[in-house]
Each structure stands twice: as C-alpha cells, then as structure tokens.
Amino acid sequence: MVDDIMVPQPLGLAPMRSSQTPAPRHHGSPRRPAQPASARPIFVAVDLGTNNCRMLAARPDPRGGFRVVDSFSRITRLGEGLHQTGRLSDAAMDRTIDALRACARKIARHRVSGARMVATAACRHASNGAAFLRRVEEETGLHLEIIPAEEEARLALAGCAPLLRPGCEGAVVFDIGGGSTELIWVAHRADRNAPGGAHIVDMASLPLGVVTVAESRGGDLCDQGYSAVKGDVAAALAAFDRRHRIAERLADGENIQMLGTSGTVTTLGGVMLDLPRYNRDSVDGLEVDFISIAAVSRRLRHMTCEQRARHPCIGNDRADLVVSGCAILEAICDLWPVGRLRIADRGIREGVLMDLIGAAGMLA
C-alpha cells in the first residue's frame, strides 16, 4: 500500500461530484457501515512509454492506497527508429494504437470517476508526437498528455516511495526507460505531504534508454560497446553527482539507499530468482547486491539473443534490449557504490492513481 502524498488537480474523464464526498460524522451518531468495494469509484492511469503501453484501473482501499481491478501491459516499441529519424514510424504508431484500443475497451467496462493518461519520452522527443496523440484521440477516444521529464520523475517517485527505507540520509531513485533514464536525488524529511517522507532535491533526465542505446549501438552490445555505454552514462551523470556529492557522501559512510523501477531491474530480479515465469509479488521490493547484478549482467551479455528470448522472465520482446539496460544499470551502480539495490515493480501508473485518489479526497 502507498502512503499519503501531495497531489495536483487530476485530469479526469469526469469531475468528482460533491455527492461522492462522505458527509461529516456528527458526535453521537451511529457509525456507518463500510462502503462495499463495488460502490467505491474506479480511477484509471495509462502510461505510454517508448517501449511499453500500460494501464491500471483501481478502487481506493479504505485502509490506504488502492486495489487493482483491471490492468493491461503490452510492448509496442513506439520509439523504434526514433533515434535515427526523429519521428515515430507508421508501423510503431499502428502497433501502439492497437494497444490503446485494447486499453479503451477495458476502460469502457468500468464506471470511471477519474483518469489521467500520460505519454513520456518517445512522444516528447518525436517531431510528430503531438500529431500522433491527436490521432490516438480520434481513433480510440483516449486523451493522452505529453508530460515533461520532471513530472515523469515525480510520478515515478510517488508510485514507488513506499519502498524507501525510513532512516536513510538520502536515496538515488532511477527509472531506466526505453527512450531516457530518469534519476532522482531524494532526501528524507518529516513532511506529511511528501510521499513516504521523500523530498525530491534534484532530478536528471538522460537521453539514454534501452531502445535508444540498442539502436545507436546496432543491437547486441559486445564487451567494448558495453563499456562505452557505461562510460557515456557516467559522463552524463558527472555533473549531477558533483552537485550533490553523492559519491563523496558514500565514501564518508552516509546511509544512502538505491531504488530502481524499470523493466530492466524487474527482469534482472526475475532472472536472479530463476523464476519459471515472471511473478510481480516475488520481485517487487526485492533487494539485490551489486555483485549479483554484475554477475547476472555478465551472464546475459554472453548469451545469444535467442538464448535470452527463451528465458521465461525475458522473452522475445526484451531479448535484444535487456543488455542495454544492464549497461545503464551497471554504470549507475559503479558511480554510486551503495552495495544493494531495491527493485520496484511499480512507478508512473501507481503515482498517477495516488494523485487521482488523493485529489478526490479518498486517501486513508
């Protein structure tokens, strides 16, 4: 479950009616029976990324957070070829619209009280990104907004903040996406309006994601290419590190946590556990040490793409991308040798849902 967070006004399919706000209880009046789950409103979040299209529909939970009632996830590779052309390709847009139609069908089954649908790096950077979203609305009825990197980072943190350990002096939170990697430097403070007491001090958006790296390097990375990607990431993060002296803080013994949310880290978690099929409950919240991350990354790098595709936690859709993600991840681990990484199988969608539920006044 997710802690209380500061929320902006949501972008919904329909505004919340005042009649949906429970009346105040008067002193001495009998306690009302708990509202049945079927009567609680449903909120929807859609996250359209460079590589994936994801949707969650959920009801608020009286004990805090929410309970998922429907979900959808499909790898569409919307950003395929974007690095070379600067545009979304016709084939990628067609695949993505098919996925969004499936989302729209699922959403239509529910009485939705509020929704927010966001598009990230691919649509931000593509010269035809805005035109594509107009086509999406015409063909599916779904209205998506392109959000800046700062909002993407805020939502990702809001979604995964409950996994931050209390008592840390700071945390590095990152999301390795398809078209970019978002880095957040988080400080802890006693603030009821911050998710889990987490306060964003600074963030950086690197134009290096699993799709952009794989395409720029021509697919699978050899050892030389792998080292080059790690060098690119380290160089891109140098100024961020200097601003906040993160490596220096670690050398001085400060208690700093690292939290990762992305397909790369969840895939590695499944591979490390040798799961017969991916299981979110086994991976979400898992802590892994950096030695194991390096060992699994090396193992995946030396497998063929076909061998990776046969792994039940990787599959065909990620087989040619996971090594690029490993290079980005290892660069982050090398720069900031925290020693352990906590994996979050949650992020933007969960952050959007908490915004919507909080703005409706329904957070416990």
Contacts of 160 (CB under 8 A, 6+ apart): 173, 259, 261, 344, 346, 347, 350, 351
Amino acid 148 reads: P
Query: What pLDDT shows up at residue 70?
Result: 96
Domain ranges of the chain: 18-149+348-359, 164-343
| Percent of the residues in the chain that have a pLDDT greater than 90, as a whole number | 74
pLDDT for 83 equals 86
Mean pLDDT score, 48-70: 92
pLDDT on residue 287: 97
Q: Do residues 161 and 325 make contact, with C-beta atoms less than 8 angstroms apart?
A: no
Q: Which CATH superfamily is domain 18-149+348-359 in?
A: ATPase, nucleotide binding domain (3.30.420.40)
pLDDT value at residue 31: 46
Q: What is the CATH number of domain 164-343?
A: 3.30.420.150
Q: What is the pLDDT of residues 122-176, one digit of tens each?
A: 999 999 999 999 999 999 999 999 999 999 989 999 999 889 988 788 999 999 9
Q: For the whole prediction, is pTM greater than 0.85?
A: no
Q: For the beta carbon of residue 178, count every other beta carbon within 10 angstroms.
A: 30
Given this model, what pLDDT does residue 63 score?
83
- For 149, counting Cβ atoms within 10 Å of its Cβ (0-12 exposed, 13-18 middle, 19+ buried), the class is middle
pLDDT at 101 over 70: yes
Provide mean pLDDT across the span 63-68.
87
Q: Does this chain's domain 18-149+348-359 share its CATH topology with 164-343? A: yes
Which among 289, 265, 268, 270 is positioned nearest to 281, based on CA atoms?
270
The strand ranges marked E within 38-180 are 42-48, 52-60, 66-75, 112-119, 145-146, 170-176
Q: What is the mean pLDDT of residues 226-230?
A: 95
Amino acid 28: pLDDT? 40
pLDDT of residue 272: 96
Dihedral sign, CA of 54, 120, 362, 162? Answer: positive
Give the per-residue pLDDT at 313: 94
